[in-house]
A and B are shown apart, each in its own frame.
Chain A
Amino acid sequence: MITRKQVIPGDVITKGDLRYGSFIEKRDDQFIALRVGLAEISGEGVKLIPLSGPYIPHVEDQVVGKVIDMSGFGWEIDINSCFFGYLPASFVFGREFSPGTHDLSSRFKIGDLLLAKVEAFDRSRDPQMSVRGPGLGKIPKGEIIKISPTKVPRLIGRKGYMIQMLTGQTNTEMIVGQNGLIVVAGPPEGILKAAAAIKMIEEEAHVADLAKKVEEFLKEGAVSGS
């Protein structure tokens, strides 16, 4: 059984000997919330789903970023975080990369939008990015929508249900970065509708039965045609 609890920083979520996740601190036998959010207590342990906060990179995260600088050896990428991502040129050109023979701007220019993966990140250095993998690389077109990174899981939904419904109903394609940046491509009216739905998901992320509400919203929009 899962018990849910609304918490603010400093609240005692529960007591005892349990496993616990991020945004929770253990003090003696008490579990203390470090963020505003929803705490879940189950047999598996204590979990906190925060409702606000910056994006902190994690290895294997897929993020949407913008190239903001280029040196002889790699690109600097703004990933909507307090840390800048670094994409080494050798990750793109392969091991035979040499700054003399390869031209970095032939691949990515400053201002380009990328879908990249966090390859490595620890507290001591900026996150290292990579574009090797299916779907990764330059994003050619689309509108950027920014939401709070903490609400991305809600947007994706259980097993991708929400995102599938969104793209299906609005006839758009979406690239969702874990860092809260979403690129929507498709017909203009579809983008507008998708943007409104995404805004709604962000604002009402804590509401139960959100998927149903979004579904109704999408259908309603089709009738009124606004």
Chain B
Amino acid sequence: MEAKRKLIDDKGKRLDGRTWDQLRPVKIEVGVLKNADGSAFIEWGKNKIMAAVYGPKEVHPKHEVMPDRAVVRCRYHMAPFSVDERKNPAPSRREIEISKVIREALEPALVVEDYPRTAIEIFVEVLQSDGGSRVAGITAAALALADAGINMRDLVCGVSSGIVDGQVVLDLNDSEDKEGSGDMPVAIMPNLGLVTLLQIDGIYTPDHFKKAFELAIEGGKRIYEMQRQVLLQKYFGSSPAESTAEEQE
């Protein structure tokens, strides 16, 4: 096995030049698809993800109807060209799992009781992938839901934190995700102060966990501010358009 490379240099800079608590550049657009009821597109680092919401609409097959609430369906899918080596377009084990956790991360924010006997369908399509695509997908899907005009108690925003070279860092990119020793995606409803997604990969000490969790919450709030600006910009055209962090040439 080849020797492990250093992911954080002596000056505390990461591979892409960020410090431990910096996010990658994020760019979000809402209402990009004409035929969807709601949609959003997010570029987060090298991630390029499209989220679309259809519904509320009739439930098919009929036996899945719930008489008192809406059925929420979610599909996370990676395009065959989204990774270096062509990915088989059939849903993999990983995609099925991520579809489930994204659905469960978004469902608490939706007022499903307002739409009985209907289905709300969420599609998250990864066009180009980098680390943290599930949280980027959740962030975009929450905006697509708000764009579709479905009653929501709060937006949902996600960000991941993790352990790289023994240090807690925010927003892991692909190589940090693969070569680092821990990855923790977190999704929150910032106004309600609730966590809707918390997954951990790797071994954490209680101390590391606490630090990484708090860092993710803090990062999530920064993402929420961007979501907010983008939504207001789309619907009122008022607030400054610049949502992104540091955009480099």
A10 proximity list for chain B (CB < 8 A): 109, 152-155, 189-192
What number of residue pairs across chains A and B have CB atoms under 8 A from each other? 82
CB pair A124–B116 under 8 Å, yes or no, is yes
B231 proximity list for chain A (CB < 8 A): 8, 36
A50 proximal to B (CB < 8 A): yes
CB pair B228–A8 under 8 Å, yes or no, is yes
CB pair A34–B152 under 8 Å, yes or no, is yes
CA distance A151 to B153 in the complex (A): 22
Tell which of B10-18, B44-52, B54-62, B202-210 binds the partner: B54-62
CB pair B67–A124 under 8 Å, yes or no, is yes
How many Å from the CB of B44 to the closest CB on chain A?
20
B150 proximal to A (CB < 8 A): yes
B146 proximal to A (CB < 8 A): yes
Of B57, B118, B146, the contact of A9 (CB 8 Å cutoff): B146
* Chain A residues touching B, range: 20 to 34
CB pair A206–B191 under 8 Å, yes or no, is no
A112 proximity list for chain B (CB < 8 A): none
A98-142 contacts to B, CB under 8 A, are 123-124
CB pair A32–B151 under 8 Å, yes or no, is no
How many Å from the CB of A10 to the closest CB on chain B?
3
CA distance A220 to B236 in the complex (A): 25
B218 proximal to A (CB < 8 A): no
CA distance A50 to B148 in the complex (A): 11
A53's closest neighbor in chain B, by CB? B149
| Interface majority SS (helix, strand, loop, mixed), chain A | loop
A71 proximity list for chain B (CB < 8 A): none
B200 proximal to A (CB < 8 A): no
Of B55, B111, B155, B232, the contact of A82 (CB 8 Å cutoff): B55
A15-45 contacts to B, CB under 8 A, are 23, 25, 32, 34-37
CB pair A34–B111 under 8 Å, yes or no, is yes
B152 proximity list for chain A (CB < 8 A): 9-10, 34-35
B238 proximal to A (CB < 8 A): yes
B180 proximal to A (CB < 8 A): no
Mark A45-56 against chain B: 1 for CB-CB distance below 8 A, else 0.
000001111100
Of A32, A37, A124, the contact of B153 (CB 8 Å cutoff): A32
B232 proximity list for chain A (CB < 8 A): 6, 8
List 30 interface pairs A-B (beta carbons < 8 Å), by A numbering: A6-B232, A6-B236, A6-B238, A8-B146, A9-B152, A10-B152, A10-B153, A10-B154, A11-B191, A12-B191, A25-B111, A25-B153, A34-B111, A34-B151, A34-B153, A35-B146, A35-B152, A36-B147, A36-B149, A52-B149, A52-B235, A53-B148, A53-B150, A54-B37, A54-B55, A83-B117, A84-B58, A124-B67, A206-B235, A206-B237
Residues of B within 8 A of A (CB): 37-38, 55-58, 67-68, 109, 111, 115-118, 146-155, 189-192, 228, 231-232, 235-238
Residues of A within 8 A of B (CB): 6, 8-12, 23, 25, 32, 34-37, 50-54, 82-84, 123-124, 150, 206
5 interchain residue pairs of minimum CB distance: A53-B149, A10-B154, A52-B149, A9-B152, A82-B56
Known A-B contacts: A9-B109, A54-B56. Give 17 more (CB < 8 A): A6-B232, A8-B155, A8-B231, A9-B151, A9-B152, A9-B155, A25-B153, A35-B149, A37-B235, A52-B147, A54-B148, A82-B118, A83-B117, A83-B118, A123-B116, A124-B67, A206-B236
